[in-house]
Amino acid sequence: MTDIASTVSKLLPLEALHLPAPPGFWPLAWGWWSLLLTIILTLLFVILLWKWRKKRLAPKRAAIALLTLERHTISPSGAMEIVRQAALSYYPRQRVAHLSGTKWLDFLDSQINGPLFKTSEREWLKALYEKQPEIETEPLIEQCQEWLTLALPPKKGGKRG
C-alpha cells in the first residue's frame, strides 16, 4: 500500500491541503448594516423629537420660571400679563390679542377642563382694573401658574373658545 501511495505521489505533484483563513467580521453582512442603520435612524429621530419638544415647551417653561421667581413681588395684573404673553406664544394673535375682561377669563377657562378663573371673576376684575384692589393676591397668582401648567402647550391648536 505504501508502494502505491509513493508511486501516485511521484506521478502527481500534489501539495498538502491548506485551509482558507476563517472569514473576518469585515465587511459586515447586510443584516448588520440594516441593524446599524436602524439604530442610527432611531437615535436621530429621538434627538430631533427631543429638540422639537424642548423648543415647543420653551415659552411655557420661561413663563412658569418668571412667575415662580417673582411670586412674592408680582401683582395679579403682572401675573396675568405673563399668562397673556405665554398664550400669544401658542395661540394665533387674532384669537387672543383682542380679548379682555370676562372674555379673556372665559378664553382661559375654555382651554382647560373646568372653571379656574370664572370662580374668582370678581377678584380678577378688581385686581386688573382698580388702582388699589383690597383682595388676596396669592390665590390669583396661583391660578395663573396652574393655568400655565395645565393649558400649555395646547393640544392641536387648543380647544374652541
DSSP-assigned states of every residue in 41-81: HHHHHHHHHHHHHHHHHHHHHHHHHHHHHTTTT--HHHHHH
**Would you say residue 143 lies in a domain?**
yes
What are the pLDDT digits (tens) for 130-147? 776 677 778 888 889 999
Residue-range definition of the domain harbouring residue 122: 57-155
Between 47 and 9, the higher pLDDT residue:
47
Question: Is 80 within the bounds of a domain?
Answer: yes
Contact 67, 82 (CB under 8 A): yes
pLDDT exceeds cutoff 80 at 6: no
Q: How many domains does the chain have?
A: 1
Asked whether residue 69 is domain-assigned, the answer is: yes
Structural domain includes residue 16: no
Closest CA to 121 of 134, 105, 145, 133: 105
Answer yes or no: is 38 within a domain.
no
Residue 75, pLDDT above cutoff 70: yes
pLDDT at 46 over 50: yes
Contacts of residue 59, defined as CB under 8 A and 6 or more positions apart, other chains included, come to 85, 86, 89, 90, 152
| Cell representation of residue 108 | 382661559
- Asked if 97 contacts 88 with a C-beta cutoff of 8 angstroms, the reply is yes
Looking at the predicted structure, is the pLDDT value of residue 14 above 90? no
Residue 17 in domain: no
Give the whole-number percent of the chain exceeding pLDDT 70: 91
Tell me the mean pLDDT in the region 87-99: 90
| Pairwise CA distance, residues 141 & 70, whole Å | 10
Q: Is residue 93 part of a domain?
A: yes
pLDDT score for 9: 67
Residue at 41 is within a domain: no
